[in-house]
Chain A
Amino acid sequence: MSESENKHNELGSILIQKDAIASIARQSTLQSYGVVGLAPKNIIENIRQIIKKDIKYGVSVDYDHDGLIIDLYIVVEYGTRIKSITNSIVNSVKYNVEKTIGLPVRRINVHVRGLRISNMD
């Protein structure tokens, strides 16, 4: 199981799993305005999601020395300004992850995988 290591104090280390970070990023993304859903990263995830609910669905987390790298795969509401929406997502995910986990976020890549058309104007 992959783990991400946080700072340690004299009593030991704190290990935070990528899943935990992914669920925070996911929560924060879904609360962002303009996002109407997450999308599978690839076909395997697509199939897996059908069988079992996966908390990492649509989110992938990685890290290096400089901090976390988060990829988000989203579906956006048709008729919104994608640039503004993605900017807001990046800001709020970075804020929420850094606030709750305390690790610096180095990159957030937002992949817009689709548009949902609920009304044609």
Chain B
Amino acid sequence: MSAVEITKLSAAERHKLVSVPIDGQGLKTLLEAGMVWLKTNQQIVNSLNVFPVPDGDTGTNMVLTMQAAFEEVEHAGIANVGQFAHAIARGALMGARGNSGVILSQIWRGFARALDDQEFMDVNLLAEALDEARETAYKGVVRPVEGTILTVIKDISAQAEVSVQRTSSFTEVLSDVVEAAEASVERTPELLPILKQAGVVDSGGKGLLCIFEGMWRFINGDPIDKPITDVVPLSDMDLEDTMETIEPGQDYEVVIDFSPGASFNLEEYYEELTKIGTSIQVGEGDGMYRMHIHVPLDNRYKPIEHTMTLGTIQKIMMENLVAQMDERKNNKKPKIKLAQVQPDDIAVVAVSPGSGLSRIFASLGVAAIVQGGQTMNPSIKELLASFENLPTDKIVILPNNKNIIMAAKEAASMTVKQVAVIPTISAPQGFSAMFRLIPDGDFEENVTAMTTAINEVETGEITIATRTVKIEDVQVEKGQVIALHNGHLVASTQSIDEACEQLLIAADTNGYERITLFYGEDIKQAQVNQLADKIRSVYPDHEIEVHEGGQPHYQLIISIE
């Protein structure tokens, strides 16, 4: 029997397959049901990952482990439940992938050991097997971490032991077990702080829950090949994107944060929402839900009224999409278009602190841009990733900040590509270097020319002092405007205009012909234009330009060339 077929069986047929007490073939059907339901929920489990490690896709790892276990027994006609469980354990062991997969294989191993050579499994034996599964799983690690799949199997086995005192019905025990597993998974963030920070439950625990839930849903006659809803963790909800997909008539966006009441049923809730509007997303995390929906004007209060009956609303956000879309269209910024690198050409990677500066870098022929600047230095990994996939081996990096030069050099030493770091400490130096780039020219010559070019430009920076300090004989009070010339403090004043004036005096503009102001995100364009007019009147022989830099913290970056 293949995975596709069992999903189509009617409730009566399902009951026939899993007759109590469970024999080998019955266990096989349960195993398959657990696997199919886990696979259905694979992406949900994957999305719960907290650690950014390469083998971290818990859902995928557990599915592959379960598949290996199933393949081992798929064609085995073993009737003896004990022998059958041993075969499952063997398959799981051989196919165990990742941490969660290994633990899962240990769970099966313990499970099989308890069943030993029994012909049938009744509820008492099931409880024993689950207890042995827990025992074996815990034996595999010196310092068990709670709030993981280990905690969930512990809670499952504890519940099974309690349940068999009450009932001898296999279905009832399984139902109790699933309920306990669900509660256990919900509790994992309380036990493991990193989960709480990320606003998710443990992925391995959730995977194990899916396996038991699948078995139970199968017996209960519920579908196991369709997810209940496409619930994502809160951190994964991308509400920005939904803006792009507005359908006619869906004028309002409503987002509601709420904690569900005791009788909350996600499936029913979801169904009710589909009657009200479109673009429905429900996010779950930390005992709280966030619902997102697009609704027509007349329906705009309906999601709120409906949600109110089901739980406690914490926050409501409502926006008029039509008005918002118009606004968006009006100040839509052109997308940054990076240079296409030809194989064997020189590709330049620039670190840029702001969107406006990025756009200028792109227009000058930069092939890749890494976001970063004064307070948010890009990691070596980010730098590496920016050029590893470019179709050329000749790379030039413009760090554009003195704090990033080291990281850039380190990135350069970690790749097989030929990488040169031009020690630019500001965006204007980066621009100046870009003017010298001849992409299909000799690498060494380019590097020399670009390095020379950085000294042909003077850089000024205007920012607000974050603390009181005395540097280079200049007393700076917190909140004052300070001017830096090539990284050295030259003035500390009350206004940006004054700082600019003193900066240009310090920079000695004789011998230069152009002054360019790149304004940051903390200053208005109108103010910069006024300032530019002032500078024009003081320096009539210079060409004054104003560009949007978009950089944080620095009101102005000034290039004098």
Contact = CB atoms under 8 A, between A and B. Distances in A.
A33 B102 contact: yes
B76 interface: no
Contacts of B380: 104
Interface string A75-116: 001011100110110011011000000001000000000000
B89 A36 contact: no
A65 interface: yes
A63 B301 CA distance: 62
Given A7-B406, A95-B51, A81 B96 contact: yes
Given A33-B140, A37-B142, A88-B55, A121 B98 contact: no
Given A36-B140, A92-B51, A121-B113, A65 B105 contact: no
Nearest to B106: A80
B372 to A, nearest CB: 16
Contacts of A30: 141-143
B148 to A, nearest CB: 9
B106 A66 contact: no
B136 A119 contact: yes
Interface residues of A, number: 27
B413 interface: yes
Interface of A, secondary structure class, is mixed
A119 B99 contact: no
A31 interface: yes
B139 interface: yes
A119 B53 contact: no
Contact of B53 (A35, A79, A84, A92): A92
Nearest to B204: A33
A121 B136 CA distance: 11
Contact of A95 (B53, B93, B143, B410): B53
- A32, A35, A36, most chain B CB atoms within 10 A: A32
A35 B482 CA distance: 56
A84 B98 contact: yes
A118 interface: yes
Contacts of A84: 96-99, 101-102
A77 B140 contact: yes
B3 to A, nearest CB: 23
24 contacts: A31-B142, A33-B103, A33-B140, A34-B102, A36-B139, A36-B140, A36-B141, A65-B413, A77-B140, A77-B141, A79-B109, A80-B106, A81-B94, A84-B99, A88-B102, A91-B54, A92-B51, A92-B53, A95-B51, A104-B414, A119-B113, A119-B139, A121-B86, A121-B112
A-B pairs, 7 with minimum CB distance: A91-B53, A81-B96, A88-B99, A77-B140, A30-B142, A84-B96, A84-B102
Interface of A: 7, 30-37, 65-66, 77, 79-81, 84-85, 87-88, 91-92, 94-95, 104, 118-119, 121
Interface of B: 51-56, 86, 89, 93-94, 96-99, 101-103, 105-106, 109, 112-113, 136, 139-143, 145, 380, 406, 410, 413-414
Given A30-B143, A32-B99, A84-B102, 10 more contacts: A30-B141, A33-B99, A33-B140, A35-B141, A66-B414, A77-B139, A81-B96, A88-B55, A95-B52, A104-B380
